């Protein structure tokens, strides 16, 4: 008996999402922009009187401490501060504080669960040095520090989902806090227009609305190929989060490089010009994460790279928008949908992170 055509058809992305997405990662990505909208309104002087006290103090900079998805927002803040901030923002992912740290640095400690041990230890060490700490957490030990120390202040966030899927909740609170303190310029005037544009972008990338759209086609080209991403310095937070999202959601390695630095080393490995060039593997997928306001010389370097990279599997993903923040968030939407779609095409639950859970169990057993 011949099999019917229906039985021979590959499952659709909608079928795969229903079969594999056990913790609702697709839904979390769909709600990304609304999470941002809610988070921006969470910082209010009338409910957080400590903000005024912090505004009156002089700071040498901000130290953002956190790990994994909870730390990603710090990278974005640091890029925004380098672009138009009033002081430096440093990102620190470790148990111990930098040797140069003292109480002249404001600390922003972020842990979705509130129990990330590296972040808890670093925050406790900062308080012991007399520093002021702002905590963003759903609860846990970190949130409890705000109840025991007058120099620790809590900004509660929304729980019930994996940290990497809560980026909208976390980052919007971080941005609103830094804007409220005058460390970043206010984006309030154009914020709603930005969010409305991002909502339309998110609908366009949504694989449940467009199962044969740009994201699905690009993810299908990435399934069996090694992956690499390149972008300018100001896009580094998006590059790093792209790598981490693909690592966790899809269980895949990603090589990452930053322009113009990579032109002084990695360009040789990609091939370049000359008889001694070592051409890159032809099956390498290469994604450029760019935006419309790069330095002109970096733009020229990018065009050279596109012309001389020895792969036909290259795409330039341009972060659209009127500001660096919008361009970065645009890239976040691309990477979230791509990483989740790639997971589904590979037969993986995008929320499954068994090795991380296993490591945490091991660490708990040896305390």
For the cut 60, the answer to whether the pLDDT of residue 280 exceeds it is no
For the chain, the straight-line distance linking the first and the last C-alpha, in angstroms and rounded, comes to 61
266-278 pLDDT, tens digit each: 888 876 544 444 4
For the cut 60, the answer to whether the pLDDT of residue 98 exceeds it is yes
186-205 pLDDT, tens digit each: 998 999 999 999 999 999 99
Mean of pLDDT values over 323-345: 97
For the cut 50, the answer to whether the pLDDT of residue 33 exceeds it is yes
Q: Which string of DSSP letters, residue by residue, matches 241-265? A: HHHHHIIIII----EEEEETGGGGT
Enclosing H/E stretch for 349:
none
3-state helix, strand and coil shares in percent for the chain, rounded to the nearest 5 = 50, 15, 35
- The neighbour count for residue 154, using CB atoms within 10 Å, is 20
Mean of pLDDT values over 241-263: 96
148-174 pLDDT, tens digit each: 999 999 999 999 999 999 999 999 999
- Average pLDDT of the chain, as a whole number: 92
* pTM of structure: 0.93
Q: Which residues of 323-342 are buried (b: 16+ CB within 10 A; e: fewer)?
A: bbbbbbbbbbbbbbbbbbbb
The confidence score (pLDDT) of residue 272 equals 52
For the cut 70, the answer to whether the pLDDT of residue 183 exceeds it is yes
As a whole number of angstroms, the distance between CA 20 and CA 349 comes to 5
Confidence of residue 327 (pLDDT cuts 50, 70, 90): very high
* 194 neighbors 321 (Cβ within 8 angstroms): yes
For the cut 50, the answer to whether the pLDDT of residue 3 exceeds it is no
Map out the domains of the chain with their CATH numbers: 25-186 (3.40.50.10490), 200-345 (3.40.50.10490)
Enclosing H/E stretch for 291:
strand 285-291
For the cut 60, the answer to whether the pLDDT of residue 279 exceeds it is no
As a whole number of angstroms, the distance between CA 232 and CA 247 comes to 21
Share of the chain above pLDDT 90, in %: 84
φ, ψ of residue 327 to 5 degrees: the values are -65, -40
The confidence score (pLDDT) of residue 10 equals 82
The confidence score (pLDDT) of residue 333 equals 98
The confidence score (pLDDT) of residue 150 equals 96
């Amino acid at each position: 008996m011949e099999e019917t055509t229906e039985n021979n058809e590959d499952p659709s992305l909608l079928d795969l999402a229903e079969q594999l997405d056990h913790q609702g990662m697709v839904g979390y990505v769909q709600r990304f922009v609304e999470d941002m909208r809610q988070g921006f309104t969470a910082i209010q002087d009338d409910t957080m009187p400590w903000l005024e006290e912090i505004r009156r103090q002089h700071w040498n900079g901000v130290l953002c401490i956190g790990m994994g998805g909870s730390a990603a927002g710090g990278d974005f803040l640091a890029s925004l501060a380098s672009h138009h901030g009033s002081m430096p923002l440093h990102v620190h992912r470790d148990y111990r504080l930098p040797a140069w740290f003292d109480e002249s640095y404001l600390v922003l400690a972020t842990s979705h669960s509130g129990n990330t041990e590296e972040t808890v230890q670093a925050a406790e060490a900062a308080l012991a040095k007399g520093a002021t700490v702002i905590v963003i957490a759903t609860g846990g030990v970190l949130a409890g520090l705000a109840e025991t120390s007058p120099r620790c202040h809590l900004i509660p966030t929304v729980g019930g989902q994996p940290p990497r899927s809560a980026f909208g909740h976390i980052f919007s609170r971080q941005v609103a806090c830094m804007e409220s303190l005058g460390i970043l310029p206010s984006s309030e005037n154009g914020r709603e227009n930005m969010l409305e544009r991002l909502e339309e972008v998110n609908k366009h990338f949504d694989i449940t609305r467009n199962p044969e759209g740009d994201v699905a086609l690009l993810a299908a080209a990435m399934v069996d190929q090694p992956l690499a991403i390149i972008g300018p310095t100001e896009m580094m937070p998006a590059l790093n989060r792209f790598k981490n999202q693909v690592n966790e959601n899809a269980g895949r390695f990603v090589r990452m490089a930053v322009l113009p630095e990579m032109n002084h080393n990695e360009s040789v490995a990609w091939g370049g010009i000359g008889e001694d060039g070592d051409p890159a593997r032809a099956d390498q997928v290469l994604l450029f994460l760019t935006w419309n306001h790069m330095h002109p010389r970096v733009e020229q370097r990018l065009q050279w790279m596109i012309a001389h990279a020895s792969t036909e599997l290259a795409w330039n993903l341009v972060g659209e928008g009127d500001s660096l923040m919008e361009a970065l968030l645009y890239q976040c939407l691309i990477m979230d949908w791509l990483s989740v779609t790639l997971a589904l095409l590979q037969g993986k639950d995008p929320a499954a992170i068994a090795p991380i859970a296993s490591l945490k169990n091991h660490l708990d057993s040896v305390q």
